[in-house]
Each structure stands twice: as structure tokens, then as C-alpha cells.
Copies of this chain bind each other. A is one copy, B any other.
Amino acid sequence: MSTDDLAAPAALAPHLGTVLDALAAGAATRNGPLPAGGPAAVAEALGRVLADTGGADPLRTLTTALAAHSVDPLHPDCAAHLHCPPLAVAVAADLAASAVNASLDSWDQAPAAIEIENDVLRSLAGLVGYGPRAAGVLTTGGTESNLMGLLLARDSAPDHHRATRTAVFASTAAHFSVARNASLLGLPPAAVHLVPTDDRHRMDPAALHAALRAHRARTPAGEGAGPSVVVATAGTTDLGAVDPLRALAETAHAHGASLHVDAAYGGGALFSERLRPLLDGLPLADTIALDLHKLGWQPVPAGVFLARDAARFDPLEARVAYLNAQDDEDEGYLSPLGRSLRTTRRADAFKLAVTLRALGRDGLGRLVDRCHDLARHAAARIAATPGLELTAEPVLTTVVFRCTDPRLDASATDEANARARRALLAAGRAVVGRTELGPGPGAIRLKLTLLNPHTTEERLDALVDAVAAAGREAAAEVVPATAGTA
């Protein structure tokens, strides 16, 4: 094979064989979900491979190194982030998208991919409960979908001056990208109003009502008023908390605000008969973010942005002579250029179209339920394990907890948990998550995010035991330090 072969099927075949061999060979060098030795060891090993720029088969060499030195989401002891093991059928479909290399910015680069994306969006709009006026677009993920939600809210203003006065209301537990996106959109820091949560980390509708009322009182109506948008969260990253969507929608709309729902994580509950009731009220949202690369088992990216009414996209419409001339569109050569912030855009919907047919909603629902079961199992095990403290019962598929030791104060407990997690990483033993609940000493928690439906209760028990052991070792390291500084 020649190095400059193009991606025709016959030319691809030998390269794909190389990749499969190398992925297996690389993974076989690990004893756990990641290589042992921590960042320095990974950097040194990769550095050696990358420095050899004259090798005969860089695809094999680099793929082996990638697999050997990655954190493997297929490994049962990889349970830190919303970082799923992808389905084989979805990865294969993604290969087809790469080989065909369609770009959805014009019809004449993507006739089939555009039809397929529209079909997937219709399915997902139906899944969330939207009617026939809905529209959407594939995105790189929740962050971009949330950006689009804020952007289209901002640009629903009748003029630039009022758009600059957009007010955003999100709970203190909302994703960090809400504030980051508001800044990207040019809104001042004071544009983001943090709404208090209840004791289960859900936005409090009464608090939202108060915040919206206070904002209106500060802002004279009429020419100067900007749009208000409420960002609700269906599935916070840490605790999986789902805001009360119906009540928030009613509150927002009563105040003339629109509602964007960040369902990047919790949207997966739509596939599950058991969890779906958590999302009651979702169809009342003006716009929604979903991420099928979380509870959807897609390779990244499989973000989705949906609007209840296609007219929401009007401010994004673009007419570009080289992409979508009016007379070509009149003849049916339509493109979704006016749906996306990007121009060139690959056919990420293709893997979703295949997955939705291969597994069906029910098949995906079974995977969601299995991960929910695993989370409940892990929570029970944690609650029953001395030296571990469960923070809250799981809502979706995350379990938040920490290691405790009666000899440690709040700061030392934080230090012990952070150390325990790093020790598991450095040993190549396990990848568990870490977060902070609120400010100040004692806030650090560990987290299991269960996205591998094929793991077993026995593996999970062993993982919990390993974390507890690491916690005990870390506590023993921290105790003398605390004593010394007390």
C-alpha cells in the first residue's frame, strides 16, 4: 500500500487491519484501565515513540502507543467521567462517515448526510416530545449546544443594544460552560444570575421566580429590556440532579423568559421507562441540549441541539454565494448551513442513525437501566464499607462519596481523597472521578460515573474496595502531616 492512497474501500482494508491489531497489542500492555506511572511515565513513553519520525509503519506504531497509554473507557475500572465506552456498531458507522467525508455546509457536499441528519433530528425531537415545528442540529457536545441555546435567546432581541442586555438564570449547580458561554457571547459577568438550589441540588422554582422578579424590578421594561433565558439542568455532572423542568418552564414563561434545558447527561433518561419521568416537562423547553456520547454510547462527538420551533434559528440564517445561493435553494438544493455555528461539518448524525436502528430506543434504555442499577449497587456497597461515606443516593448513573478517617479534619480529608485518587491513577489501578461540593474545606468528593453496561457487580465491589484501601493509605500519609502543622 502507498502512503498517499485515498480512502477507497480496497485501500482502507489493510490499514484497518493494522489499526485493529495495534489497538489490541497496545491494550494488552496495560494491566488496568490506564498505564501505571502517572503523567511523567506517559510523557516519557510517548515522547520516545513520537521522537522516532522515521519509522516504517507510523499507523501501527502510533496506534499501539495510543492504546497502551490511554485511559480505556471499555475497562470496568474506568469510571470517572461522562466518558463512555462506544458501541462497536457506532464506531464502525463513524468510519463510514470519515471515509465518505461529507460536509453538511452545502447540499453538493452531503446530499445523503443531510437527509440522514434530518431523519435523526426528527427522531430525537419526537423522543423529547417536540412537535412537527421542531428543528435542530448536531453539535460537538453540550458546551456548543448550550452556547447555541444562549445565542439564540440573545439574538431573539429585536436589536443589538437589547441583545447586549440578555440576562441568564442558571442554578449554582449548572455546568461551568454556562458562564463561559455567556462570556463568549460578549455578555458581562453580571448577566449570569445564579439561582439557589434545594437540598438535592435542583434549581428551586420559587428562587427562580424571585430572581426573575428582582431582575425585572431592576430593569425598566420597554425599549431597554433584553431577553431573559433560564438554563435548567437535567442531570448535573456530579450528582445527576434533574431540575424540576415543568415548574421551571412555567415560571420562566410566566416572566417572559425562555427556557433552555441542558440535558447533555440526563437526556439519556429518555430511553428508560424507569427514569423518563424525571424529565417531565422537557417538551416545554424552548431549546434542549443532548449528548449521545454520554448515555448513548457514541464515539465523541454526538452532541445535539434542538429547538421547539424552527424559527428560533432565524438569527443564524446565512446566505453565502459559494454555498447556498437562493436560486439553487429554490430548486431544492437545501443545506443546514443556517443551523450551525460551523461551516465545514462532518456527518456525526450517521452513527446515531445506525445506532437508533441497531439497538432501538428499548435497547438503549436497557443500557441506561443497567448503568443505573450499577450505580445503585455501588452506592449500597459504599454505604456499607467502613471508611467510605456516601454523599447522596444516585439519581442517574453517578455515585458521589468520599473516604473518611476520624483522625482527619476537613482539610486533611480533602487532601486524603485527592491523594487516594491520584494513587489509583499512578498505579494504573483505577480511574475514579473527583469533584467539589460547595466551597471551603471538606468539599472534595470522589465519584464513580457508571457508563459501562457490561461491567459486573463483582468488578464494581472490587473497585469500591480498592478505593477504600487507597483512602486508608492516603489517610495514613496525611495524618502525620496534619499533626505536624496543627
Give chain B nearest CB distance to A248 CB in angstroms.
23
Q: Contact between B116 and A66 (Cβ–Cβ < 8 Å)?
A: yes
A83-112 interface mask toward B, CB cutoff 8 Å, 1 = contact, 0 = none?
111111111111111111111001111111
Q: Contact between A144 and B93 (Cβ–Cβ < 8 Å)?
A: no
A–B pairs, 28, beta carbons within 8 Å: A1-B88, A3-B87, A5-B89, A6-B87, A6-B88, A8-B74, A9-B27, A12-B20, A15-B88, A18-B92, A19-B93, A38-B331, A47-B115, A53-B357, A58-B358, A63-B93, A63-B354, A66-B100, A67-B96, A81-B103, A83-B103, A101-B293, A151-B184, A176-B320, A186-B187, A237-B322, A322-B447, A333-B422
Q: Contact between A69 and B111 (Cβ–Cβ < 8 Å)?
A: yes
A293-319 interface mask toward B, CB cutoff 8 Å, 1 = contact, 0 = none?
100010111010000000000000010
Counting CB contacts under 8 A, is A132 at the interface? Answer: no
Q: Which residues of B contact A43 (CB under 8 A)?
A: 115
Counting CB contacts under 8 A, is A22 at the interface? Answer: yes
Q: Contact between A4 and B453 (Cβ–Cβ < 8 Å)?
A: yes
A35-47 interface mask toward B, CB cutoff 8 Å, 1 = contact, 0 = none?
1001110110011
Out of B16, B99, B300, B303, which one reaches A101, CB within 8 Å? B300
Counting CB contacts under 8 A, is A160 at the interface? Answer: yes
- Whole-angstrom CA separation of A328 from B434 in the bound complex: 10
Q: Contact between A116 and B358 (Cβ–Cβ < 8 Å)?
A: no
Give chain B nearest CB distance to A49 CB in angstroms.
9
Out of B68, B110, B119, B354, which one reaches A58, CB within 8 Å? B354
Q: Contact between B20 and A13 (Cβ–Cβ < 8 Å)?
A: yes
**Beyond A143-B342, A300-B346, is A160–B185 a contact (Cβ under 8 Å)?**
no
Q: Contact between A96 and B66 (Cβ–Cβ < 8 Å)?
A: yes
Q: Which residues of B contact A357 (CB under 8 A)?
A: 53, 55, 58, 62
| 8 closest cross-chain pairs (CB), A and B | A186-B186, A15-B92, A58-B357, A39-B332, A69-B112, A321-B436, A98-B299, A46-B115
- Whole-angstrom CA separation of A140 from B346 in the bound complex: 9
A50-91 interface mask toward B, CB cutoff 8 Å, 1 = contact, 0 = none?
100101001100110111111111100000111111111111
Give chain B nearest CB distance to A26 CB in angstroms.
9
Q: Contact between A7 and B88 (Cβ–Cβ < 8 Å)?
A: yes
Q: Which residues of B contact A103 (CB under 8 A)?
A: 81, 83, 300
Q: Which residues of B contact A53 (CB under 8 A)?
A: 357
**Beyond A74-B6, A321-B436, is A62–B108 a contact (Cβ under 8 Å)?**
no
- Whole-angstrom CA separation of A59 from B88 in the bound complex: 11
Q: Which residues of B contact A97 (CB under 8 A)?
A: 66
Interface residues contributed by chain A, number (CB under 8 Å): 153
Q: Which residues of B contact A333 (CB under 8 A)?
A: 38-39, 422, 425
Counting CB contacts under 8 A, is A141 at the interface? Answer: yes
Q: Which residues of B contact A366 (CB under 8 A)?
A: 4
- Whole-angstrom CA separation of A328 from B346 in the bound complex: 35
Counting CB contacts under 8 A, is A206 at the interface? Answer: no
Counting CB contacts under 8 A, is A142 at the interface? Answer: yes
- Whole-angstrom CA separation of A334 from B40 in the bound complex: 11
Counting CB contacts under 8 A, is A10 at the interface? Answer: yes
Q: Which residues of B contact A102 (CB under 8 A)?
A: 66, 70-71
Out of B109, B160, B177, B350, which one reaches A66, CB within 8 Å? B350
Q: Which residues of B contact A358 (CB under 8 A)?
A: 3, 58-59
Counting CB contacts under 8 A, is A476 at the interface? Answer: no
Q: Which residues of B contact A246 (CB under 8 A)?
A: none
Out of B20, B186, B434, which one reaches A322, CB within 8 Å? B434
Question: Which residue of chain B has its CB nearest to the CB of A80?
Answer: B108
Q: Contact between A59 and B300 (Cβ–Cβ < 8 Å)?
A: no
Q: Contact between B341 and A143 (Cβ–Cβ < 8 Å)?
A: yes
Q: Contact between B342 and A108 (Cβ–Cβ < 8 Å)?
A: no
- Whole-angstrom CA separation of A413 from B55 in the bound complex: 55
Out of B321, B431, B447, which one reaches A435, CB within 8 Å? B321
